[in-house]
A and B are shown apart, each in its own frame.
Chain A
Amino acid sequence: MKECSRISFLKGLKDAVPIMLGYFAVSFTLGINAAQNGLTWYQAGLMSFLNHTSAGQAAAIRMIASGDSYLSLALSQLVINLRYMLMSTALALKLRPDTSMGERLGMSYIISDEIFGISIMQKAPISAWYSIGAMTAASPGWVLGTILGAVMGNVLPASITTALSVALYAMFIAVIFPPVKQDPILAAVIAASMASSWLFDVLPPFRQLSFGFKVIILTIALSALFAFIRPLPEDTEATDAA
């Protein structure tokens, strides 16, 4: 491993420690849910090891329990996880140009909301090894949390699981808010996004949409809207600001 790759790997490893803790809390409840729906602890653990997608897995657990077709399960994962394609596209364009195919295939193993969130905020051009370091730290939290949840059920008191459940969101906030100081329009972007997200949850025609679909629709619509309202100046590297 090159020296700069090693540094990136270690930085990702360190930055992702809170993700590991947040993952543990989320996947623990997912594990309980899997066991209640008839999956064994090793099936639940295998699903977490191969997927790392909370919304996708939560949907899959219900669909497997009710014996849905393989095709509908595949479609549900495509729709719920389509936002990862946007994230992967954004990452692909900020990657170091000399990133090998092996590194690209490796970092594709986990592109989750959280790993993407910290990876995309690195200064361009970014190293695949930052993401690989981050997933190395985060993945055990996800897989072990699922297994423990499935095996032990509710061993942690509710007061602790409740407190841990805000960790992921607090982290998202710590990712998106600081850049507002450099680029004030981001305050409008964040406010509009949060308001629309809330409206989609309460307004009847949108309420039926899945979480994954809501994220896809609003991400495409609002990003396009703001790109039209306030495009980046010509000759500016979009990647520097993000």
Chain B
Amino acid sequence: MQHNVYLYILIMAAVTYLVRMLPLAILRKPIHNRYFKSFLYYVPYVSLSVMTFPEILYCTGSPVLGAIALALSIAMSFIGLSLPLTAGISCLAVFVANLI
């Protein structure tokens, strides 16, 4: 490691902060373009879906455990359970299923 670790950390922090900050600091006026608004409406659903699947199958090291957590959390969110309950019960189910 011939470079300075702290300089690395500060550089990555600056880049990451700018990426997050610029739109929030600059965008003020509502955008009325129908297609752009529709685009933004779909962004959270697409990005969170892409991040969740298939990662949930890999993260436990066992696709079966991941599939159990996936099916269970979908069922619970349709019933209308809260975020903490859905997450907690999924963890518990994986813990128990892992013991079996």
Given A74-B11, A160-B95, A166-B60: A18 in contact with B44 (beta carbons within 8 A): no
- The reply on A226 being an interface residue by CB < 8 A is yes
Chain A stretch 1-58: residues in CB contact (< 8 A) with chain B = 15, 17-18, 21-22, 38-39, 43, 46-47, 50-51, 53, 56-57
- Expressed in whole angstroms, the Cα–Cα distance for A164 and B94 within the complex equals 8
Closest 3 CB pairs of A and B: A193-B49, A163-B95, A50-B13
Render A77-99 as a binary contact track against B, CB cut-off 8 A, 1 for contact: 11001111111111111010100
The answer on a CB contact under 8 Å between A77 and B3 is no
- The reply on A206 being an interface residue by CB < 8 A is no
Closest to A15 in B: B83
- Expressed in whole angstroms, the Cα–Cα distance for A193 and B90 within the complex equals 22
Query: Which of A51, A84, A170 has a CB less than 8 Å from the CB of B87?
Result: A170
Closest to B68 in A: A166
The answer on a CB contact under 8 Å between A167 and B91 is yes
Closest to B78 in A: A177
- In the complex, chain B residues whose CB is within 8 Å of the CB of A39: 5
Mostly helix, strand, loop or mixed at chain A's interface? Answer: helix
- In the complex, chain A residues whose CB is within 8 Å of the CB of B87: 18, 21-22, 167-168, 170-171, 174
Closest to B86 in A: A174
The answer on a CB contact under 8 Å between B46 and A222 is yes
- Expressed in whole angstroms, the Cα–Cα distance for A232 and B22 within the complex equals 27
Closest to A49 in B: B13
- The reply on B64 being an interface residue by CB < 8 A is no
- In the complex, chain B residues whose CB is within 8 Å of the CB of A51: 9, 12-13, 16
The answer on a CB contact under 8 Å between B3 and A67 is yes
**Other A-B pairs, 9, CB within 8 Å; known A109-B20, A194-B49:** A18-B83, A21-B87, A39-B5, A70-B8, A163-B92, A173-B70, A186-B45, A193-B49, A242-B41
The answer on a CB contact under 8 Å between A242 and B25 is no
Query: Which of B12, B55, B95 has a CB less than 8 Å from the CB of A77?
Result: B12
The answer on a CB contact under 8 Å between B83 and A93 is no
- Expressed in whole angstroms, the Cα–Cα distance for A29 and B26 within the complex equals 36
- Expressed in whole angstroms, the Cα–Cα distance for A90 and B38 within the complex equals 11
- Expressed in whole angstroms, the Cα–Cα distance for A21 and B90 within the complex equals 13
- The reply on A60 being an interface residue by CB < 8 A is yes
For this complex, 13 residue pairs linking A to B, each with C-beta atoms less than 8 Å apart, are A18-B88, A50-B16, A77-B15, A88-B23, A95-B24, A166-B69, A166-B91, A173-B70, A176-B52, A193-B45, A219-B46, A222-B42, A238-B41
Shortest C-beta distance, B8 to chain A (Å), equals 5
- Expressed in whole angstroms, the Cα–Cα distance for A113 and B13 within the complex equals 17
The answer on a CB contact under 8 Å between B95 and A84 is no
The answer on a CB contact under 8 Å between B16 and A84 is yes
- The reply on A208 being an interface residue by CB < 8 A is no
Shortest C-beta distance, B34 to chain A (Å), equals 6
- In the complex, chain A residues whose CB is within 8 Å of the CB of B2: 67
Query: Which of A86, A105, A113 has a CB less than 8 Å from the CB of B51?
Result: A113
Given A51-B12, A51-B13, A174-B83: A231 in contact with B92 (beta carbons within 8 A): no
- In the complex, chain B residues whose CB is within 8 Å of the CB of A89: 23, 27, 40
